[in-house]
Copies of this chain bind each other. A is one copy, B any other.
Amino acid sequence: MPDLRTFVNPKKRNQTWATSAKKFIKRRIPITGWIKRYSREDAIGDLIAGVTVALTFTPQSIAYAALAGLDPQYGLNSAFAGSLIYVFFGTIREIVIGPSSLMALLTYQYTSHLNVDFVVLLTFLVGVTEFLMGVFQLGFLVSFISAPVVSGFTTATALIVAISQVKGLLGLTLETSGIFDNLTKIFQNVNNVRLGDTILGVTCILCLLLLRKLKDVRISKSIKGREIIHSSFWFISTGRNAIAVIATSYLTFWYTKNDLQPPFITTKNVETGIPSMMAPPITTQIGNQTYNLQEMISELGISYVVISIVSVLANVAIAKVYVSSTIDASQEIMVLSACNIAGSFFQAIPSCGAFSRCGLISASGVRTPLAGLYSAGLTLMALRFLSPFFHLIPRSTLSAVLISAVIFLVDGKIFKPLWIADARLELATVIATAFVGLFIGVEIGLLFGVIVGLFSLLYKWARPKISVIRTQTPFGEYVQVRPESGIYFPSVDYILSLVTKLVEDDDGNGLPIVMDCKGIKGTDYTTAKGFVAITEMLEKRKRQLVFLDATSECQKIWKSAGIKNERFWISQYLMDNLYECIDRVEEENEMALLEVTND
């Protein structure tokens, strides 16, 4: 048994001012920390990852801009600003901030009837809202996203992205919205499937999946140059996306060089320039109508609040997948805010992290957030110089790269443990979040999952575990009512009706009721009022009710509402008080009625 107990306060530390300042800077501008340990391996890893992700990121950004109903450059601007800012302020290497399907979908939803000035202003307002969320430490709100919700959300997003890429893989050019529409139109257009694209795409997927395994290949110790082979395998495996893109682009080049039409669709030509830096618009015109800033903001309604919350939740959901220790949620919100505010100065659409991208950069062997620098650079170069070459990339290659990245985000592994643990509500939460996400919208799925989780938590306060035990002793019987947790206002009606039923059911017996309060770790005034009602109800029926072993804190609150001091007993003297004649144990009683001290 322990013979001495000392309280250890984990927060209290002796720090000098300089240490604190250093810590603060390291926390707010994380690059100042990790850049000191930056090695050659890191540089190689980041270069490959940054370039690889940029090769997908760039055409993706164009696609997302189109999804938001805008011209290509707005997506690329967003990718550039997001990648660049995250390098300096980001804490999680796997996160690449930029346009995403989620953001693009929501942006389209709120601004499709307006012009691009509204979109840029929206980006700015999203940044400001995120900043306020960061300042007011609203990051803790993400604690309310449970693992099953993250799992369902991830699966839904991955499936939506994968299904959206199937048409590209098959060489179909379809205008679709939602996965239902997507699948329907693919089946309707099954005769228009292009053989060239399909062969190229499927081959790419197979190669990518095989190459993904390459780095895990075990090489027999007897083989010479084992280390070199292993390194090469790792390099090829890590750079597989880049290899696929370069190889298939060369294929296009070969066809065009030989004056042949390639048998697959290639990426659209991007004709843009470097974004000019300017403040977000504060006035605009649609048709004859001129909007000032106030009118523009009022026109945008609550869109920026919705998009901010979703972007923060999505980003932290991604972070939770990739980081197994604690996440500095406040910092992640602040950097997201910086990306969007900066983005609005480069005419960008709202940005956040995206699972597909994060999956890709993680699979490409990213080492630090510095990889974003290469992505940003390539995006900028794409805007300025590389656009003539991007048209060589076959569309089905990009689809294959995306599909083979996101397919591993479909979280099938969560079902077995939940099944084993018999956690039915959590299983249902995964499935419901995924289904709502797939068929209504991932942000709605996320919110739905969060709300289900919150209700289940509130329900625990409304229906606390209470055991009712008829206890026989050598001296007589009593009914023990034992709540197992804190008792707060939502459970008062429940306890009241429980005790009422208990009394109505065996009124004849008239046994004393002992409320065992050992498990009650907290309570409130509403409970106190409810307990007063119970004691009054029992007094009318001439039934005894005592509170056993209540902490002094609970006693204080309950007494304040009118529960008498005499009703608080301690278990040591329970038998004497309940069954012995009162005069014999009078002195002991007095001791028994002393307040129980808090443990």
Contact = CB atoms under 8 A, between A and B. Distances in A.
B472 A426 contact: no
Interface string A305-330: 00000000000000000001111010
A42 interface: no
A458 interface: yes
Interface in A471-496: 471-474, 479-480, 484-486, 488-494, 496
A502 interface: yes
Contact of A556 (B11, B422, B471): B422
A6 B490 contact: no
A147 interface: yes
Nearest to A9: B468
Interface in A363-383: none
Interface stretch (A60-68, A413-421, A581-589): A413-421
A325 B556 CA distance: 23
A469 B7 contact: yes
Given A485-B486, A490-B144, A468 B556 contact: no
Contacts of A485: 485-486, 521-522
* Central interface residue in A416, A457, A533, by most chain B CB within 10 Å: A457
A592 to B, nearest CB: 16
A152 interface: no
Contact of A468 (B2, B10, B472): B10
A146 interface: yes
A465 B521 contact: yes
Contacts of A525: 146-148, 414, 417-418, 421, 423, 426
A537 interface: yes
A387 interface: no
A557 to B, nearest CB: 4
Contacts of A145: 489
B453 A489 contact: yes
A300 interface: no
A505 B147 contact: no
A500 interface: yes
Contacts of A470: 5-8
A561 interface: yes
A227 interface: no
A500 B468 contact: no
Interface in A524-582: 524-526, 528-529, 533, 536-537, 556-557, 560-562
A143 B491 contact: yes
Contacts of A420: 556, 560
Interface in A129-183: 140, 142-148
A326 B500 contact: yes
* Central interface residue in A422, A458, A502, by most chain B CB within 10 Å: A458
A325 B471 contact: no
A262 interface: no
Interface of A: 1-11, 13, 140, 142-148, 324-327, 329, 414, 416-418, 420-423, 426, 453-454, 457-458, 460-462, 465, 467-474, 479-480, 484-486, 488-494, 496-498, 500-502, 505-506, 519, 521-522, 524-526, 528-529, 533, 536-537, 556-557, 560-562
Given A10-B505, A414-B525, 17 more contacts: A3-B472, A4-B472, A7-B470, A8-B506, A13-B505, A143-B490, A143-B492, A143-B494, A147-B526, A324-B533, A325-B537, A417-B525, A418-B560, A421-B525, A421-B560, A426-B525, A454-B458
